Amino acid sequence: MNNKNKKGSKKMSDAQALTSTTAATTDATDIVVPAYEEELTVGKRQEQIGEVHLRKEVVQEQETVPVNLRHEEVTVERVAVSGQAVDPAALRDAFQGEDITVPVMGEEAVVGTQTREVEEVRLHKGATQEQQQVTGTVRKERVTVDATPQELSTGDVAPRGQQPRRPRQS
């Protein structure tokens, strides 16, 4: 029954439909058409998602610290004496020019630095877990039957261009 339709292509007979590459038969009257679909699978991979950079730099700043310093002060006092006779041995240095130096002592601030540890910066890394929604496109095959609901319920379904089979009446 190879009838030509309006476009000139051949129609398949029932036998050709049963041996089609997309359909498999289970017995003489059943045709099985497999339908496939993809499902979304999600995997994971480890990758660098950012970085933390620690930088230690040296800065200089002026600091003022109070300090108490001691020093000697000199006062000169002139005292009048009575005109008594002086021992001749003491007069040996009389009328001689002389320079006398008297040291005056005092504390002077000495500035230095001492290094001490004031802080530690600790960087801790820990793993956390979060849930994300992942979206992707999948393909699905849908098999449709070209028949009216009445034809399906009564079993009067036949290939186009052929008469439907009537169920046997007992």
Lowest model confidence (mean pLDDT) among 15-29, 55-69, 86-100, 137-151: 15-29
Q: Which residues, 6 or more positions from 40, have their beta carbon under 8 angstroms from its beta carbon?
A: 134, 136, 138
Q: Domain tally for the chain?
A: 1
Assess whether pLDDT exceeds 70 at residue 4.
no
Across the range 30-45, mean pLDDT stands at 92
Does some domain include residue 122?
Answer: no
Nearest one of 18, 8, 111 to 64, comparing CA atoms = 111
User: Does residue 123 have a pLDDT over 70?
Assistant: yes
Is residue 70 one of the residues assigned to a domain?
Answer: no
What is the predicted pLDDT for the residue at 57?
Answer: 96
Within a domain: 27: yes
Read off the pLDDT of each residue in 157-165 and give the average, rounded to a whole number.
Answer: 59
* 62 vs 158, residue with greater confidence: 62
Is 11 a domain residue? yes
DSSP codes, 57-106: --------------B----------------TTGGGGTT----------B
pLDDT for 142 beyond 70: yes
Query: Which domain covers residue 11, as residue numbers?
Result: 1-36+136-158
Look over the chain and give the mean of its residue pLDDT values, rounded to a whole number. Answer: 80
Structure tokens at 19: 């041996």
pLDDT digits (tens, 9 = 90+) for 57-85: 999 999 999 999 999 999 999 998 887 77
